[in-house]
Amino acid sequence: MLRVTKLTDYATVVLTVLAARPGEILSATDLADHSGLESPTVSKVLKPLAQAGLVEGLRGAHGGYRLSRAAADISLIEIVEAMEGPLAMTECSQVDGHCGIAHQCGARANWRLINDVVADALRGVTLAQMLHPPASPDDVRRRPIAVRVASS
């Protein structure tokens, strides 16, 4: 089964709380209250999000967190990669993958293509879009996904 980790899911929830309140500075406790998550979990996801430059931490009596840029300028791939590292469906779909049979594998090019399609789909959805569920499942299917074909 292919899925993102719970922490990546929670990071998206925390970011949507911030996205729904543009310009506001929220403490980790406020974020926990608004997201329904435990405070330690919120604190745990905020660290890599800050390191990736997706949130900005402000110190002081009225400190807290806010998005570092507009929600429309943050893509899901940035969130996934902040929490999990570079997207790679398989070992061989990584640029510097260490697969022992890569030199003789007939599936490698296809896995890289699939990896690119998934990455492009995540690039095509913004945090701002995550605030509003699609009207129907067909709306998700209609989103254009650019597919790059690797030349040999």
Report the percentage of the chain scoring pLDDT > 70. Answer: 83
Q: What is the pLDDT of residue 95?
A: 65
Instruction: List, in order of start, the domains of the chain with CATH numbers.
Output: 6-142 (1.10.10.10)
Sign of CA dihedral 138, 2, 124, 25: positive
* Residue showing tokens 């690119």: 116
* pLDDT, tens digit, 9 for 90 and up, residues 28-55: 999 999 999 999 999 999 999 999 999 9
- Written as six digits, the tokens of 126 are 């913004």
Using alpha carbons, select from 125, 117, 64 the residue that is nearest to residue 87. Answer: 117
How sure is the predictor about 150, in pLDDT bands with cuts at 50, 70 and 90? very low
How sure is the predictor about 146, in pLDDT bands with cuts at 50, 70 and 90? very low
